[in-house]
Each structure stands twice: as structure tokens, then as C-alpha cells.
């Protein structure tokens, strides 16, 4: 329940909540407003700051505060249920202590607003089971305000702040973020963002942490909890803010930054050229444009404050403070022999000019040797550190299952950007709406203003880009940054999703350097633009699909339209600022579309198409199996792969394929693909190597009737699309391996993405396949029994010598006579611990058409024990991602390329080219990764 006393205050706040009870869905949108002074034009080029109305909260388990001299930073955590296929890991409770971490900030002078927010969301109360007593939330707090405002928190919320040391929290937060978030740190020079990830502790420590809040702290950090505050300065963010307010009459901080962007500091700063008559002082390396004395020109001009443009003053102040801090940071780094310098604190605010200036100071004084690094979570370091005291999310490197490597902390975190991100201009307002109607009306209400604003910002951005291009060179060398021509860069901080049961795929040859994405779409703007265009072009089709997937009701239409607007806004955002969300790759773009659909309640847009295509493909499966079984082993392997590549054409995510569906039935397309497009030789074709390995455990010469012996013990197969792709492609291939005596683990998406089959659908499908295929039936039964005996987890491979099976028995088994289904017990027994050809199914933990092996569920990681072949299928999983990744075991990558640009870009090829890439296990140290 909302405290009645606070309701009045909450309503009076700019973004007032409806005084509704927790748990009800009513939400008063009147409070959510784009205020007049925030309109484009009045407020300059920035997107309007849109205040999300207070929302009914998710269940929140922990909160932490950092109450500084200028800002209050709030971090809170809402636990989340695991996807259904990952329940085993949670002992069936669905809770695995995973959840979402949210970041919010307020001005300290507006402490009531922060308290209203906490009250409206009920963050200060531990929600209870219906009968239990209400507990007070434990609130960790750091920063001076934890002392100064303790009474207010006690009075208004009834909570006692548990105080934590500020420097301790700062360091804990920085260390955590730098290790847990992939793209936390970046450099910013010459208007270019470059993300730098520390891959090992030795890449990180020791470092200098410069926190620019109201004042400045400089800490030498050597490890977790190992630090020393070596210096500081009173000339910090407060100095800039204070002097700016005094001299420019600007009130808001962002307003001052905006203002400074129109400024010309040479009107107030004394430059070297002013002293040397427009000449450089080249003897000591100073160009004419270097500032000799900040505000020095004011002395010689006989002018009053009112004669100066406030923009020039704002810019000169920003530069003065930034440059001084950069200089001090360099001197301290030098003094302690530190090579890496990270800058945090909210003074920076992703402001290009601030970052350019600090970077310039570090580069200049280090004679080009060092580069300043910035943190995306800027001012949240202390709050995150305080949060970790009550909820330590990642005891580093827990040793899991004995046979596997230690888990990596980073694998457990992923950052997601909600639909509000592009509109709200980098401000963070808590979790997504709990009620769909609220969310949709919010988008409807703000989409026009938001779109107008992002368009204005984009025009501004384009203008700035051409200006920068036209004077390139002047910023390239060690020159003082000119007055900023870049539009404001909004660093977006998303919601951090924490999944403690995720870890890197254990079979990666080089997990540290593994990068799933094949193309670099962040640095390569043309590439980014190409894929943004692709997604933009497809958007109306997806909106239509979404709508019809739910019977085109008016509700579905509104939600689909809102999805369309929200996703379009993300695309626009990325077109302007490819680095706004960190270093997103192509895989993230595709995933963002799926996440956005989910956010608007579309749980599975292609569900009916998938069902229809599965049914159609099942009809022809028995004939296909007969046809394959009649071939001799080598021809059969070729036919299996050709069929698999052909079936990969059923891809609702590719424009070229969707166009095909208008002119033919599923079967016609499949036949055409199999006889024409997927015939050997393929564009990338290392089939001969596969063939050699495939028959390496079988006595030669191969006879026509013989079923070969599998050289592989356990094969993990990442499957792709529903319908023909899985039924006529991957399943027959898996069946062949099972027949040869291998164990097979099929890995499917945990959540839907386009027409990819999900793990739940796959299990059902295999039951249907089992009806017409005794091999699949027996292998599924054996797997289910093994799972039952092993508490739902895939047991390690039994680890036996290879079973040599009698080919006649196997041929019996493979016959498509369903009258005599064989149980596993009827399989030939080699010794007491005989192994069965079991067919397991496990979720990939992902909901994307691509495959990011940096984080897979531990249930899948378990399955790698004993695996000696990994098969990755499809354009998303084997081409967009993982095309260049290497594995500790043999790998087979199979895909049809359904996009002309991509085929051309990768190997000068054409649309419908096929890839059959067999790669033997990477030898240790043998140039893995890329
Ligand atoms: N919206 C804002 N309001 C006030 N100050 C801001 C704002 N955004 C950025 N700042 C800058 O950030 C500084 C505060 O940074 P922060 O890291 O939160 O430090 P502190 O803990 O001292 O409050 C301010 O002095 C100001 O320069
Ligand atoms: C989303 C996809 C990667 C899915 O392909 P799949 O993995 O199913 O083979 C692919 O459809 C794709 O890249 N589509 C966008 C490009 C296009 O429309 O041509
Ligand atoms: Mn797919």
C-alpha cells in the first residue's frame, strides 16, 4: 500500500503516480508529461526528457543508495523467474536468485522526489507472502548523504540506512562493472567511441580511478578491496555546475551542457595565438589554438558579464574543469606508474566535449602513450558497490561441475534496453511497465513527440557529422579540441539481467577472446546502416505478423503498432549513435527485435506458421528416411547435408525467402532448393574432411548396406528453424548419428525468435517423429530414462570404448517399420556399462536467431562432457555468429546464405550460396578466436 501521507507529494511531482494500490494496474498517465520547457527547440537539440509515470513495482528484493553532494543514485533489484526449460537449475522453484538490476538518479536537493519514487514503487518494503509479517527492506547507503539524511529516511520510510564507506563502494562498484559488463569501458577521441574490455585481471589492475562527482577523488586500485586514495581535487563537477549557474543563469545541468555546445571558448580563454600574434609556440609544442590561460582574455577586454555569450562561458568552464582533472589524473598516474586511467562520476554525463578534453589532456601529457577510459555507468559506481554489500551477485569464479572450467562472472550478465530507452534520452526510470495497457498508451502518447525529437536530433547529428568530416585532420593530431560540433551523446544504461546459472560454452577454444559476431557493425558504419535498413524494411511485415498472430483484434493491433514504433525508435537511435547501447553486434540487433516483441506481449509471432510447417514436413519424412536409407553410406552423407542445407531455406527472417513463399508450396520450394541450390560443390566446402572423419571408425571398404560406426561419442547440434529445416534436415542427420551409435544432444532456443524452433516445441515434435521412426523413439526413451535417473540434468557421457555395433541389427532398427519399435534394452550390449544412442534436448538459454556462446545455461554446459563434435546450423548461428569461432572439438557449420550482401561480403558469393564448413578440433594455442 502506498503511504497516504506521501501521495500528495507524489502527485505534485513532475512525474506523479496515480495514487493506486500496489498490485492494481490502473495508472494515471496525466502525470507523465513532456514539459513545456523540454520541447525541442526550446531546449535545444536534445530529445525531450520524458518522465515515465511511477509504476507499480515488480517485486523488489534489494535496494542501495549513494547520496552525494549533487545527486542521489538508486540501484534496485527485482528477482526474475527462470525460463521453463531452465527450471531444473532452480530445483523447480523457478527462482534462481537471478533478476534485473535497475538504475535511477535524482538531484540531492530534490530528496523528496527520490523518497516519493521509493514510496510509489514500494521499494522500501519487502513484499511478503499473504500471511507473513511485513519486513522493512534493508537499505545499504553510501555517500555523505547517508549520514546527513538518515533521519529523513527514518521518518518518511521508517528505514534505517546501513552505512557503507564511500571509497570502498566506489572501488567495489568499478571493479564489478569492469568485470561483469562486456562494454563498460570505452575511449572517446576524435568523436569515435572505442570499447575496451579487460579480459583478465592482469588487463585491469592496477589502475587509476578518477571519480568526478561534486569533487574529485583519485584512487589507485590494485584488486578487489585493494586500493588507496592517492589524491583528489576540489575543482570538480560542483565547481563547473556552481560557476555555470552563477555566470550563465542556467539552472539545469543538462541545459548547461546543451548551452556549452553552441559556445566558442576563444571569446573568453586566452590562447597561445593571442599572446604570440597568431603564431604557434612550436618550441614547446604549443599550437596557436592551445589555451594559454582559461578565462585570461576577460582581463584584457573591458566588458561586463552581460557582454559575454553564456554559451562561450559554459564551454570555457567545461573545458577548464575537464582539462584540469585530466592533467591531474595524468600526473598521479605517472607518479604511481599506472598505465590505465578510468573516469567515472556524473560530471561526465557522456558529454562529447568533456570526454574529448579529458582524453586530450591524457594523450597530450603522456605524449600519446595513454588514453583516458570512461565508464558507461559513470556515476553509479558507488551505488553499485553498496548494492553488492547486500547482494553479492558474483563470488568470482565459482568452481562448478568438476569436469568443467571455472565459471566466468561476465557470462551471467546481459544488458537490455527497454522500449523507453530511445525516447527517454538516456535517463533511467526503472523497470518496464507491469501492465501492457500502460505500456502501449505510453508509447502511443509519446511516440509522436519522441519521433519528432529523435528526427530533429538525427538531422542535427547529420549536420554535425558533415562538419566534422569537412574539417577532419584538425582533430586527428594532438590538437586542443575545437568547439564541439557533435550532437550530445546519450550514454544509455540499460537494465542489467543477472542469470547466475549461465556460463561460457565450455568447448570454446578461446573463451577469453571469443566474439560471436562475424561482422563489426559498430565501427563499420556502412555495415551498421545496411543492417538497420534490413530491419527497418522488414518492420511492417513483422508488425503485420504480430497482429495476425493474435487474431488481429483491436488490442493486438494497438500493441503491434506500439511495438513497431518502439523498435523503429531503437533503430533510429542506433543510426545516430551506434555506440549508445555499448558495442552492439548484429546478433544484438536481431535479439533486440525479439525482446521488443516480448515487451509488447507477443510471445511467439510465428507459432502457427511453425506448427503448419512442422506438420507438412512430417508428412514427407518417412519417404525421405526410406530414400536416405537406400543410399550407400557416402552418398547418404552427401544427401543428408544437401537436404539439410536445402531445408535451411525456410527462414521467415530473410526477405529473399519470404518472397519465395508467395510463389510455391513448402514442398515445391524444398525440392527446388534440394535439386538446384544445395547441390555440391558448395561455396564453402570442406566436406571431404568431414567424410574422412565420418568413416574413420568404420572398416573399409564401405559396403552399401553397412551402417558405419560413429567416430563421435556425443554430438551437440544447435538447431535452427521449425518445419522442413528441423524435420527434413537436422532430424535425419541426428538419426544417422544415432544409428551409428553416437549420442546426440539437440540444442534449441529457450525463447522464440522468428521461426526458430523452441526447446519446448522440439520435445513435442520428437514425440511425433518417434511415431514414424523407431530410432528416434528408442533414443528419446533412453534419454528420458537417463534424465530421470540424473535429476533432470544430462549425465556426462559414459566414457566407454566405442561400441562396435552389428550393422544388421542397426539396419533392422533403422527400417521404417513402426510395428517393431526397439527399446534401448534390445540394442546390442558391448559390456556391462554399454552406452545407448540417446537423444537429449536442451535449451540454449537464448531467444535470438543468433547464438552467443558467452553465456549458456549450466544444463547445456553439463552436456559438453564427452562431446566430440559440435554442429551449428543456420545463417544466424553459423554465419552471422560463430562463423570464425573455433572449438576444442570438431565442428561442422552448415547454412544457406539467404542474403546477397552477406554472401558477397563474406566470400564474394551470391544469395543461396551454401556453407559446409568442417573444422577439426582447434589445437591449443593454434590461433583460435579472431
Ligand atoms: N542532472 C544533474 N544535476 C546535477 N548535477 C549533475 C547532473 N548531471 C550531472 N551532474 C554533474 O555531476 C556532478 C555530481 O556527480 P556525482 O557523481 O553524482 O557526485 P556526487 O556523489 O558528489 O553527487 C555534479 O556536480 C554535476 O557536475
Ligand atoms: C535472421 C536470420 C539470421 C535467420 O536466419 P537462419 O538462422 O534461420 O538461417 C536471417 O533471416 C537474416 O539474416 N535475415 C535478415 C537479412 C535479410 O532479410 O536478407
Ligand atoms: Mn532461424
**Comparison of pLDDT for 74 and 118, the residue scoring more:** 74
pLDDT value for 801: 39
Ligand 2 center to 541 CA (angstroms): 14
pLDDT value for 380: 96
For residues 140 and 386, the answer to whether their CB atoms sit within 8 Å is yes
> From the CA of 539, which ligand is nearest?
2
541-595 pLDDT tens trace: 999 999 999 999 999 999 999 999 999 999 998 988 888 888 889 999 999 999 9
Q: Kindly state the helix (H) or strand (E) to which residue 340 belongs, with its residue range.
A: strand 340-344
Residue position matching grid coordinates 495476425: 548
Asked whether the bond before 206 is cis by omega within 30 degrees of 0, the reply is yes
Pocket test for ligand 2, best of 594, 653, 656 (most atoms within 8 A of CB): 653
Task: Quickly state the pLDDT bin for 425 (edges 50, 70, 90).
Answer: low
Give me the chain's average pLDDT, please.
82
Residue 355 pLDDT > 50, yes or no?
yes
Ligand 3 center to 748 CA (angstroms): 10
Pocket test for ligand 1, best of 214, 321, 424, 426 (most atoms within 8 A of CB): 214
207-222 pLDDT tens trace: 999 999 999 999 999 9
In ligand 2, which atom is closest to the CA atom of 880? 3
Residues contacting residue 411 through CB under 8 Å, at least 6 positions apart? 502, 503, 504, 854, 855
Query: Poorest-confidence range of 152-156, 664-668, 685-689, 899-903?
Result: 664-668
* Cα 843-849-853 angle, rounded to 5 deg: 55
Phi and psi of 438, rounded to 5°? -60, -45
Sketch out the chain's domains with CATH numbers: 24-183+380-412 (3.30.420.510), 507-599 (1.20.1700.10), 607-801+830-919 (3.40.50.10880)
pLDDT value for 812: 36
Task: Quickly state the pLDDT bin for 800 (edges 50, 70, 90).
Answer: very low
Pocket test for ligand 2, best of 587, 592, 597, 654 (most atoms within 8 A of CB): 654
Return d(Cα 155, Cα 845) in angstroms, integer: 44
Return d(Cα 502, Cα 852) in angstroms, integer: 12
For residues 453 and 439, the answer to whether their CB atoms sit within 8 Å is no
- Is any ligand 1 atom within 6 A of the Cβ of residue 49? no
* Cα 20-25-28 angle, rounded to 5 deg: 55
Q: What is the mean pLDDT of residues 415-431?
A: 67
Task: Quickly state the pLDDT bin for 82 (edges 50, 70, 90).
Answer: low
CA distances to 536, 547, 557, 559, 566 from 552, rounded to whole Å, are: 22, 5, 6, 10, 19
Residue position matching grid coordinates 582581463: 299
Mapped onto helix, strand or coil, the DSSP state of residue 837 is coil
pLDDT value for 357: 95
For residues 387 and 140, the answer to whether their CB atoms sit within 8 Å is yes
Cell numbers given for 868:
566430440
Residues contacting residue 893 through CB under 8 Å, at least 6 positions apart? 871, 872, 873, 878, 879, 882, 883, 915, 916, 917, 918, 919
Range ranked top by mean pLDDT from 195-204, 223-232, 257-266: 223-232
Task: Quickly state the pLDDT bin for 129 (edges 50, 70, 90).
Answer: low
**DSSP state letter for 855:** S
Ligand 1 center to 66 CA (angstroms): 12
Task: Quickly state the pLDDT bin for 252 (edges 50, 70, 90).
Answer: confident
- Is any ligand 1 atom within 6 A of the Cβ of residue 387? no
> From the CA of 69, which ligand is nearest?
1
pLDDT value for 58: 56
Pocket test for ligand 2, best of 747, 849, 904 (most atoms within 8 A of CB): 849
**Comparison of pLDDT for 237 and 404, the residue scoring more:** 237
**Comparison of pLDDT for 32 and 237, the residue scoring more:** 237
Q: Kindly state the helix (H) or strand (E) to which residue 334 belongs, with its residue range.
A: helix 310-335
Residue 850 pLDDT > 60, yes or no?
yes
Q: Which of 49, 5, 55 is nearest to 25 (CA)?
A: 55
Return d(Cα 253, Cα 426) in angstroms, integer: 14
Nearest CA, atom 1, ligand 2: 653
Residue 686 pLDDT > 60, yes or no?
yes
For residues 728 and 720, the answer to whether their CB atoms sit within 8 Å is no
Q: Calculate what percentage of the chain has a pLDDT beyond 90.
A: 58
For residues 888 and 734, the answer to whether their CB atoms sit within 8 Å is no
298-316 pLDDT tens trace: 998 889 999 999 999 999 9
pLDDT value for 465: 58
**Comparison of pLDDT for 468 and 352, the residue scoring more:** 352
Ligand 2 center to 574 CA (angstroms): 20
479-507 pLDDT tens trace: 444 444 444 556 678 889 998 889 999 99
854-872 pLDDT tens trace: 999 999 999 999 999 999 9
pLDDT value for 838: 96
pLDDT value for 649: 94
Ligand 2 center to 751 CA (angstroms): 17
Residues contacting residue 701 through CB under 8 Å, at least 6 positions apart? none
**DSSP state letter for 691:** H
Return d(Cα 79, Cα 60) in angstroms, integer: 7
For residues 916 and 682, the answer to whether their CB atoms sit within 8 Å is yes
Nearest CA, atom 7, ligand 2: 876
**Comparison of pLDDT for 36 and 878, the residue scoring more:** 878
Parallel, antiparallel, or unpaired for β 226-233 and 270-271? unpaired
Residues contacting residue 607 through CB under 8 Å, at least 6 positions apart? 549, 752
Prediction ipTM score: 0.93
pLDDT value for 701: 84
Mapped onto helix, strand or coil, the DSSP state of residue 51 is coil
**Comparison of pLDDT for 96 and 139, the residue scoring more:** 139
Range ranked top by mean pLDDT from 51-65, 98-112, 828-842: 98-112
pLDDT value for 226: 97
257-286 pLDDT tens trace: 889 989 999 999 999 888 888 777 777 777
Range ranked top by mean pLDDT from 118-127, 239-248, 401-410, 430-439: 239-248
pLDDT value for 94: 45
Return d(Cα 204, Cα 169) in angstroms, integer: 18
In ligand 1, which atom is closest to the CA atom of 240? 27
Mapped onto helix, strand or coil, the DSSP state of residue 431 is coil
**Comparison of pLDDT for 201 and 822, the residue scoring more:** 201
Q: What is the mean pLDDT of residues 631-640?
A: 96
Return d(Cα 870, Cα 890) in angstroms, integer: 6
- Ligand 2 first shell, C-beta below 6 A: 534, 590, 648, 651, 653-656, 720-721, 754, 849, 874-877, 880, 895, 898-899
Nearest CA, atom 24, ligand 1: 237
Phi and psi of 374, rounded to 5°? -110, 160
**DSSP state letter for 379:** G
Q: Which of 243, 200, 457 is nearest to 347 (CA)?
A: 243
In ligand 1, which atom is closest to the CA atom of 238? 25
Residue position matching grid coordinates 577454444: 509
pLDDT value for 535: 97
Return d(Cα 15, Cα 18) in angstroms, integer: 10
pLDDT value for 67: 97
pLDDT value for 395: 53
Ligand 3 center to 899 CA (angstroms): 13
Return d(Cα 667, Cα 643) in angstroms, integer: 12
**Comparison of pLDDT for 132 and 683, the residue scoring more:** 683
Query: Poorest-confidence range of 194-198, 600-604, 649-653, 826-830?
Result: 826-830
Return d(Cα 759, Cα 867) in angstroms, integer: 20
**Comparison of pLDDT for 346 and 831, the residue scoring more:** 346
Residue 4 pLDDT > 50, yes or no?
no
In ligand 2, which atom is closest to the CA atom of 721? 8
Phi and psi of 758, rounded to 5°? -95, 165
For residues 229 and 219, the answer to whether their CB atoms sit within 8 Å is yes
Return d(Cα 596, Cα 446) in angstroms, integer: 17
pLDDT value for 845: 94
- Is any ligand 1 atom within 6 A of the Cβ of residue 344? no
**Comparison of pLDDT for 619 and 812, the residue scoring more:** 619
In ligand 2, which atom is closest to the CA atom of 538? 18
> From the CA of 349, which ligand is nearest?
1
Q: Is the dihedral of CA 384, 385, 386, 388 positive or negative?
A: positive
Residue position matching grid coordinates 513402426: 818
- Is any ligand 1 atom within 6 A of the Cβ of residue 849? no
Query: Poorest-confidence range of 51-55, 413-417, 638-642, 684-688?
Result: 51-55
Nearest CA, atom 20, ligand 1: 68
Residue 826 pLDDT > 70, yes or no?
no
691-745 pLDDT tens trace: 999 999 998 888 877 789 999 999 999 999 999 999 999 999 999 999 999 999 9
- Is any ligand 1 atom within 6 A of the Cβ of residue 216? no
Return d(Cα 915, Cα 44) in angstroms, integer: 51
Q: Kindly state the helix (H) or strand (E) to which residue 538 belongs, with its residue range.
A: helix 525-549
Q: What is the DSSP string of 70-96?
A: SEEEEEEEEEEEPPGGGGGGGTTSSEE
Return d(Cα 488, Cα 842) in angstroms, integer: 45
Return d(Cα 73, Cα 384) in angstroms, integer: 9
Q: Calculate what percentage of the chain has a pLDDT beyond 70.
A: 78
Return d(Cα 314, Cα 265) in angstroms, integer: 8
Residue 426 pLDDT > 70, yes or no?
no
Nearest CA, atom 12, ligand 2: 654
pLDDT value for 126: 67
pLDDT value for 525: 87
Pocket test for ligand 2, best of 651, 903, 913 (most atoms within 8 A of CB): 651
923 burial level (CB within 10 Å; 0-12, 13-18, 19+): exposed
Query: Poorest-confidence range of 112-126, 136-150, 394-408, 899-913?
Result: 394-408
- Is any ligand 1 atom within 6 A of the Cβ of residue 214? yes
Return d(Cα 30, Cα 15) in angstroms, integer: 9
Query: Poorest-confidence range of 297-311, 675-689, 790-804?
Result: 790-804
Name beta bridge partners: 436.
none
For residues 813 and 736, the answer to whether their CB atoms sit within 8 Å is no
Task: Quickly state the pLDDT bin for 405 (edges 50, 70, 90).
Answer: low
pLDDT value for 83: 62
Range ranked top by mean pLDDT from 495-509, 611-625, 810-824: 611-625
Cell numbers given for 743:
549420442
Ligand 1 center to 239 CA (angstroms): 10
Q: Kindly state the helix (H) or strand (E) to which residue 856 belongs, with its residue range.
A: strand 856-857
Pocket test for ligand 1, best of 65, 70, 383 (most atoms within 8 A of CB): 70
Amino acid at each position: 500500500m502506498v503511504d497516504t501521507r506521501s501521495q500528495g507529494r507524489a502527485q505534485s511531482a513532475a512525474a506523479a503516480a496515480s495514487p493506486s494500490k500496489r498490485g492494481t494496474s490502473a495508472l494515471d498517465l496525466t502525470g507523465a508529461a513532456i514539459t513545456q520547457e523540454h520541447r525541442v527547440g526550446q531546449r535545444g537539440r536534445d530529445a525531450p526528457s520524458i518522465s515515465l509515470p511511477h509504476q507499480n513495482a515488480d517485486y523488489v528484493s534489494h535496494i542501495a543508495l549513494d547520496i552525494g553532494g549533487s545527486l542521489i543514485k538508486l540501484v534496485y533489484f527485482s528477482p526474475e523467474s527462470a525460463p521453463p526449460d531452465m527450471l531444473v537449475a532452480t530445483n523447480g522453484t523457478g527462482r534462481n536468485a537471478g533478476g534485473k538490476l535497475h538504475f535511477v538518479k535524482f538531484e540531492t536537493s530534490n530528496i523528496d522526489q527520490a523518497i516519493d519514487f521509493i514510496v510509489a514503487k514500494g521499494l522500501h518494503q519487502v513484499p511478503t507472502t499473504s500471511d507473513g509479517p511485513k519486513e522493512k527492506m534493508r537499505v545499504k547507503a553510501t555517500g555523505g548523504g547517508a549520514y546527513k539524511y538518515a533521519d529523513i529516511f527514518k521518518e518518511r520510510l521508517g528505514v534505517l540506512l546501513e552505512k557503507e564507506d564511500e571509497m570502498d563502494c566506489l572501488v567495489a562498484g568499478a571493479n564489478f562493472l569492469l568485470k561483469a559488463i562486456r562494454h563498460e569501458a570505452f575511449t572517446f577521441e576524435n568523436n569515435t567511441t572505442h570499447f575496451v574490455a579487460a579480459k583478465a585481471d592482469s588487463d585491469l589492475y592496477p589502475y587509476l580511478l578518477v571519480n568526478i562527482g561534486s569533487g574529485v577523488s583519485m584512487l589507485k586500485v590494485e584488486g578487489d578491496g585493494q586500493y588507496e586514495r592517492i589524491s583528489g581535487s576540489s575543482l570538480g563537477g560542483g565547481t563547473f555546475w556552481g560557476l555555470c549557474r552563477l555566470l550563465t543563469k542556467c539552472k539545469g545541468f543538462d541545459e548547461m551542457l546543451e548551452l556549452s555546445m553552441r559556445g566558442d571558448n576563444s571569446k573568453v580563454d586566452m590562447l597561445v595565438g593571442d599572446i604570440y600574434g597568431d603564431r604557434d609556440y612550436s618550441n614547446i609544442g604549443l599550437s596557436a589554438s592551445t589555451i594559454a590561460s582559461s578565462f585570461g582574455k576577460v582581463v584584457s577586454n573591458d566588458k561586463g558579464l552581460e557582454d559575454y555569450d553564456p554559451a562561450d562561458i559554459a564551454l570555457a568552464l567545461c573545458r577548464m574543469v575537464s582539462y584540469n582533472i585530466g592533467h591531474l589524473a595524468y600526473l598521479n598516474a605517472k607518479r604511481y606508474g599506472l598505465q590505465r586511467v578510468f573516469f567515472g562520476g556524473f560530471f561526465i554525463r557522456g558529454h562529447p566535449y568533456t570526454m574529448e578534453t579529458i582524453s586530450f589532456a591524457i594523450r597530450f601529457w603522456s605524449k600519446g602513450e595513454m588514453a583516458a577510459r570512461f565508464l558507461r555507468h559513470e556515476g553509479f559506481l558507488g551505488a553499485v558497490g553498496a548494492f553488492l554489500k547486500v547482494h553479492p551477485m558474483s563470488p568470482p569464479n565459482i568452481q562448478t561441475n568438476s569436469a568443467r572450467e571455472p565459471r566466468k562472472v561476465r557470462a551471467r550478465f546481459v544488458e537490455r534496453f527497454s522500449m523507453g530507452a530511445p525516447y527517454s534520452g538516456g535517463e533511467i526510470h526503472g523497470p518496464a511497465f507491469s501492465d501492457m495497457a500502460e505500456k502501449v498508451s505510453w508509447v502511443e502518447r509519446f511516440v509522436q513527440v519522441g519521433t519528432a525529437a529523435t528526427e530533429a536530433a538525427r538531422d542535427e547529428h547529420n549536420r554535425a557529422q558533415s562538419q566534422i568530416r569537412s574539417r577532419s585532420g584538425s582533430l586527428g593530431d594532438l590538437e586542443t579540441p575545437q568547439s564541439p560540433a557533435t550532437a550530445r551523446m546519450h550514454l544509455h544504461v540499460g537494465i542489467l539481467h543477472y542469470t547466475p546459472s549461465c556460463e561460457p560454452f565450455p568447448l570454446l577454444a578461446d573463451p577469453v577472446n571469443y566474439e560471436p559476431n562475424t561482422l563489426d557493425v559498430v565501427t563499420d558504419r556502412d555495415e551498421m546502416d545496411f543492417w538497420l535498413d534490413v530491419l527497418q524494411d522488414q518492420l511492417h511485415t513483422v508488425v503485420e505478423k504480430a497482429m495476425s498472430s493474435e487474431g488481429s483484434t483491436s488490442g493486438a493491433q494497438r500493441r503491434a503498432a506500439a511495438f513497431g514504433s518502439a523498435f523503429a525508435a531503437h533503430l533510429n537511435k542506433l543510426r545516430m549513435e551506434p555506440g549508445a547501447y555499448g558495442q552492439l553486434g548484429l546478433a544484438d540487433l536481431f535479439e533486440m527485435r525479439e525482446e521488443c516483441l516480448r515487451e509488447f506481449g507477443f510471445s511467439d509471432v510465428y507459432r502457427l506458421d511453425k506448427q503448419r510447417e512442422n506438420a507438412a514436413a512430417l508428412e514427407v519424412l518417412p519417404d525421405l528416411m526410406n530414400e536416405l536409407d537406400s543410399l550407400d553410406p557416402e552418398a547418404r552423407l552427401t544427401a543428408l547435408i544437401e537436404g539439410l542445407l536445402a531445408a535451411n531455406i525456410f527462414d521467415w527472417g530473410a526477405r529473399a525467402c519470404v518472397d519465395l513463399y508467395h510463389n510455391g508450396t513448402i514442398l515445391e520450394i524444398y525440392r527446388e532448393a534440394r535439386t538446384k541450390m544445395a547441390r555440391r560443390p558448395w561455396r564453402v566446402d570442406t566436406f571431404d574432411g568431414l567424410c574422412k572423419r565420418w568413416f574413420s571408425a568404420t572398416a573399409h571398404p564401405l559396403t552399401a548396406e553397412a551402417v558405419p560406426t560413429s567416430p563421435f561419442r556425443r554430438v551437440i547440434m544447435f538447431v535452427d528453424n521449425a518445419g522442413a529445416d528441423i524435420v527434413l534436415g537436422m532430424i535425419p542427420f541426428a538419426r544417422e548419428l544415432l544409428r551409428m551409435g553416437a549420442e546426440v544432444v539437440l540444442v534449441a532456443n529457450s525463447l522464440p525468435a522468428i521461426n526458430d524452433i523452441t526447446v519446448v516445441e522440439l520435445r513435442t515434435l520428437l514425440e511425433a517423429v518417434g511415431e514414424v521412426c523407431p530410432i528416434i523413439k528408442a533414443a528419446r526413451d533412453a534419454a528420458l530414462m537417463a534424465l530421470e535417473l540424473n535429476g533432470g540434468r544430462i549425465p556426462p557421457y559414459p566414457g566407454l570404448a566405442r561400441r562396435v555395433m552389428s550393422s544388421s541389427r542397426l539396419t533392422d532398427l533403422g527400417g521404417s517399420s513402426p510395428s517393431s519399435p526397439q527399446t534401448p534394452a534390445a540394442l546390442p550390449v558391448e559390456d556391462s556399462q554399454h552406452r545407448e544412442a540417446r537423444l537429449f534436448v536442451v535449451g540454449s538459454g537464448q531467444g535470438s536467431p543468433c547464438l552467443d556462446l558467452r553465456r549458456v545455461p549450466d544444463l547445456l554446459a553439463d552436456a559438453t562432457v564427452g562431446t566430440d563434435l559440435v554442429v551449428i546450423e543456420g545463417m544466424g548461428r553459423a554465419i552471422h555468429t560463430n562463423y570464425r569461432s573455433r572449438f576444442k572439438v570438431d565442428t561442422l557449420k552448415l547454412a544457406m546464405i539467404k542474403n546477397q550482401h552477406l554472401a558477397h561480403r563474406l566470400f564474394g558469393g551470391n544469395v543461396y550460396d551454401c556453407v559446409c564448413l568442417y573444422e577439426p578440433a582447434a589445437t591449443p594455442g593454434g590461433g583460435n578466436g579472431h
